Amino acid sequence: MSRYGLKNGNTMNKTIEEAPIDFRFDIDALFAHLTGELGHNIEDELDWSFALRSNDLALLEKISIELEDDFLTHVQESVEEEDSEGNAVQGDPILVLVDRGAMTAEEVKEIVNQLSAIANERGLTYEGVDCCDPIDYEEIFGWIAPEDVLPRLQSMNDNGLTPDVPLPWTFLLQTPSVEATKAIKDALSEADMSDIDEFDEPDEDGNFGLCVFVPGRNNEAALAETLSGVTEIAESHGGAIDGVQFYTREEVEEVFGEEEGLEEAEQGEA
């Protein structure tokens, strides 16, 4: 099921009868569309996304923290929109709040009322509600399998990522021993990849690990070359790449926790 509700219909110069329904704000019409035209069973879960907008990024980030116990939150700092003449322009930041559940129209309306009240109290704009099939956030934000990382970058480029802009590359390596860990670390350092974190304790299978941070860029050929080099170094000492991501050190710690990156990857492999 694709996403619903985010398309803004231009109702200018149209009669009321011709004006498209804006599902972002007409909850009853959205549910009628879901159940009547798309055959959605309301007992099935969907990811419900609610959006708040403001030109005050700090305020959106503050509210995001306040609501993170109730929603999966994400502040989108850069939002590209079209103006009345069809030109691409930068719009105000948006706070997206996601709640997964098998909701009724009344339950969605209750959340909308709560968020609309927050918007009115804090000087925000309520942008509406959207829904889609449940998203596998582990697949999106977790470690990417080595064979999938180049297609992922290609997809990012297809969606508008600027060529050759700085883009961090982080490689998660599994190693069979302390000695292998040291040998791989030394070899990577000789190859100008010296920003490395070690996992000092073995996992339940006795494996150790490394997290390698590379200041890369959005270049598929360069990433392929680096991926090949890291793979060769790891495998020559009995190790392997468990996963890759386009995260900085700070983002790795935020997503996985300082010491949980290896554990998270292995759980994903299970």
Burial class (CB in 10 A: 0-12, 13-18, 19+), 238: middle
SS3 192: coil
- DSSP reduced 3-state for 96: strand
pLDDT digits (tens, 9 = 90+) for 170-212: 999 999 999 999 999 999 999 999 999 998 789 888 999 999 9
pLDDT at 192: 96
CATH number of the CATH domain containing 93: 3.30.70.970
19 belongs to a structural domain: no
* pLDDT one-digit tens code per residue, 122-137: 999 999 998 888 877 6
**Number of structural domains found in the chain:** 2
Count other C-beta atoms under 10 Å from residue 182's C-beta.
15
Q: Do 262 and 154 share a domain, yes or no?
A: yes
Pair (108, 150) in one structural domain = no
- pLDDT of the residue at 21: 60
Encode 258-269: b = buried (16+ Cβ within 10 Å), e = exposed. Answer: eeebbebbbeee
Question: Do both 113 and 158 map to the same domain?
Answer: no
Report the alpha-carbon distance of residue 97 to residue 90 in Å, rounded. 21
Query: In this structure, are 95 and 45 located in the same domain?
Result: yes
Quote the domain boundaries for residue 91. 27-135
Q: Please say which residue of 97, 115, 135 terminates a domain.
A: 135
Please give the Cα distance from 256 to 137 (Å, whole number). 13
Q: Is residue 18 part of a domain?
A: no
